[in-house]
Structure 1
Amino acid sequence: MAAVMDYFRSCWGARSRAGRRGKKGSDAAGRQDGLLWYKDAGQAATGDFSMAVVQANNLLEDQSQVESGSLSMADPGPQGTFVGVYDGHGGPETSRFINDNMFHHLRRFATEHKCMSADVIRKAFQATEDGFLSVVSKEWSVKPQIAAVGSCCLVGVICSGTLYIANAGDSRAVLGRLVKATGQVVAMQLSAEHNACYEEVRQELQSSHPHDPQIVVLKHNVWRVKGLIQISRSIGDVYLKRPEYNRSPLHSKFRLRETFKKPILSSEPAIAVHQIQPSDQFVIFASDGLWEHLSNQEAVDLVQSNPRNGIARKLVKAAMQEA
C-alpha cells in the first residue's frame, strides 16, 4: 500500500474526498487490476498525489485515504491535505473504523483548538482508539475475535507550510529532498516505527515492563511482543491492552497464561513536525509491505526518475517484483 504526495502547489477550495480506498473497494476515480487497486493521479490542496493498494490476503485488511481542503469545521479554518495509511491485521474491522473516523476526529479537535497541531493529531488518535474500544465492548459477547483485530496507523497532515507525521506501528513516511549542490534527491525518513525487530523498541518495552522477562520473545527468528505480534503500537488489538478481553471466549492462541495489569501495546503515535523547505520534492507514505522490499533511497530514486502519473502503482509493482 503506497501513496505519494507531490509538493506543493496551492489550489485551495472546498474540502473534497480526494482519494480513498474504502470498504466498497474503490472511490469513483480508482481502478482495479486483479488484486491491485490504484488511482494514478489526483489533486489535493497542497499538491498532486498517486495511490495504490495490492491485496495480499483473501480479505483486504488495509485502507487508505487522502482528504483535501478544510481541516476543521470552522469557516474559515485551517486548509491543507490529510493522508492516512491503515495497515490492518487479524481482520478489516479496525482499519475500516479508522478510515471512517480518524479524519472526522481530527477536524473536530482542530475546530476546538482553532488550529492544526501535534496535540490535535494526538487527540484524534486517542478518540479513534476509544471509539474502536467501544465497538469491541459492544460486540465482544457475539464476536470475541474482534478483540484481536488491529491496525497500524500512519497519518500525514500538510497545513500552513508544516508537515505533521504521526505513526503507530511499522508503516513509514519518507521525504524526497533535493540537494542543490549535487542535483540528487535524497531520502529522509520522517516517521518512527514501532516494530520489535528494532532494538530500541525492545528496550522501550522492557523498560515499560521490567518485571516481565517474556515481554519480547524471539520466535522463529522474529521478535514478537509476548510472542504474538511484531508491533508495539497500534489502534485496536484490545486483547493486549485490556485484560478483560484476554480470556475465553477469545481464541486460545491469543490468550496469555498470566493476566496483566498494564497495557502491553499502546495507541500513542510518534509525531514528527517538519517545516517544509523549497528543496522538499515529495513524500512517500506506505505500509511495511513496500519497505520490506525497497529501501528508502530505492523508493525515492524510483519516484524521482519516473513520471508522477501512476507512480504509486509503479512503486507497488516494484516491491512485488522484489518479493
Structure 2
Amino acid sequence: MQSHSTVNASETETGKGKSKMSDQISHGYALVKGKASHPMEDYFVAEFKQVDENELGLFAIFDGHLSQEVPDYLRSHLFNNILNEPNFWTDPESAMKRAYRITDSTILDKAADLGIGGSCAVTVILVNGKKLLVANLGDSRAVISRKGVAKQLSIDHEPSTERAQIEDRGGFVLSFPGDCPRVDGELAVSRAFGDKSLKDHLSAEPDIAVENVDDDLEFIILASDGIWKVMSNQEAVDCIKDIKDPKSAAKRLNEEALVRKSSDDISSIVVRLHK
C-alpha cells in the first residue's frame, strides 16, 4: 500500500488500503484543512509494510504548529528511525522512545532548515494484526473500540497536567482569559517535536502503550485535535461504529467535527480489524 503525506490547502483528501496478511484488516483516512489562514499543517502516514516475514501496519497523525516542515520531516523519517532501532523486535517500547528522542534531536539540529515550529504526533504500529504499539507526543489521540466501548491508548500532554515538570525545567504555564493553558504563554501542549525556542521547557519523551488485538477489538481511530476538541472518545466511536468501510468512517468523523464547528485542521485514520 502507498504512504501518504499531506493535503492541498483547498482540498479534502481521502483514501484507503488493506492488509495483505488478513482480509479482515483495512484502513481509511480523511483530511480537511481548517479555517485558519495558514497552510494545512496536518500530515499523516497510512500503509502496510512487509518486513521479512512480518507485516507492519504503520499509521500516524502529525499535527504541526507554526510549521509544515517539521510534520513533513516526521512523515518521512520517524517510522524508519523506529524500525531501524536494533532492539525494535525484542524491546519495542524502549526502541520507540529512543527513536522519538533521536528524531527530536535531529529536528532541533536542522532548525535552520526546518524552522522553529514543531509538531504533535501519534503513531500506531500494528504487528502482524495481533498487537498495537502506540506512542504519542501532544494532543493527537489514538482510541480503540472494544465491543463498542471507547478506550484511549494515548495520553494528552497538556500544560495544566504537567505544570510541575515544566516549572522544574524553568518554564511556566500561563492562561489568558478565554484561552487554554500554554507553556510560557505560547504552546498549548507540554510535549512535542521541535519548538526550538521552547525546548528547554518541553519534553520529547513519548508515552507508550501496548494493546493486544483480540476478537472484541473492532477498530482504531487516530485523529488530530480537530476531532477531539469537539468530540469525546465515546462520541467518536458511536459516530462510526456501524460504518464498515474505514474510508467512509474517517470521512464521517470529519463531517461530524465540522458540524460541531471545529475550526482546526482535521485528520482522521480509521483501521478496521474485523469485517
TM-score class, shorter-chain normalisation, is: 0.7 to 0.9
2:40 equivalent to 1:48: no
- Aligned equivalent of 2:123, options 155, 159, 181: 155
2:43 equivalent to 1:63: yes
Report matched runs for 1:186-201 at 5 Å. 186-196=149-159, 199-201=160-162
Name the residue aligned to 1:319: 257
Q: RMSD value over aligned CA atoms?
A: 2.2
Question: How far did 1:305 drift?
Answer: 2.2
- Aligned pairs, number: 253
Question: How far did 1:119 drift?
Answer: 1.4
Name the residue aligned to 2:5: 21
Distance in 1, matches of 2:119 and 2:257, equals: 21
- Aligned equivalent of 1:168, options 125, 137, 147: 137
* Aligned sequence identity (%): 27
Question: How far did 1:99 drift?
Answer: 0.5
Deviations 1:209-249 (A, max 9, x none): 4xx5x6111113321111111111001101112xxxxxxxx
Q: Report 1 or 2 for greater relative contact order, CA contacts < 8 Å, sequence distance ≥ 6.
A: 2
Question: How far did 1:195 drift?
Answer: 1.7
Name the residue aligned to 2:270: none
Question: How far did 1:112 drift?
Answer: 5.1
Distance in 2, matches of 1:114 and 1:99, equals: 22
Task: Please say if residues 88 and 96 of structure 2, whose CA atoms lie closer than 8 Å, have aligned partners that are also in contact.
Answer: no
Q: Which runs of 5+ in 2 are unaligned?
A: 262-275
Moved over 3 A (4+): 111-116
Q: Which runs of 5+ in 1 are unaligned?
A: 1-15, 27-31, 179-184, 242-262
Name the residue aligned to 1:231: 189
2:84 equivalent to 1:108: yes
SS of the residue aligned with 2:106?
helix
Distance in 1, matches of 2:69 and 2:56, equals: 28
Name the residue aligned to 1:217: 174
SS of the residue aligned with 1:310?
helix
Partner AA of 1:61 in structure 2? E
Question: How far did 1:115 drift?
Answer: 4.3
Larger Rg: 1
- Aligned equivalent of 1:135, options 91, 107, 110: 110
Task: Please say if residues 172 and 286 of structure 1, whose CA atoms lie closer than 8 Å, have aligned partners that are also in contact.
Answer: yes
2:205 equivalent to 1:268: yes
Task: Please say if residues 176 and 281 of structure 1, whose CA atoms lie closer than 8 Å, have aligned partners that are also in contact.
Answer: yes
Name the residue aligned to 1:10: none
Question: How far did 1:114 drift?
Answer: 4.4
Distance in 1, matches of 2:12 and 2:158, equals: 26
2:230 equivalent to 1:290: no
Partner AA of 1:194 in structure 2? H
Partner AA of 2:154 in structure 1? S
Distance in 1, matches of 2:132 and 2:18, equals: 17
SS of the residue aligned with 2:123?
strand
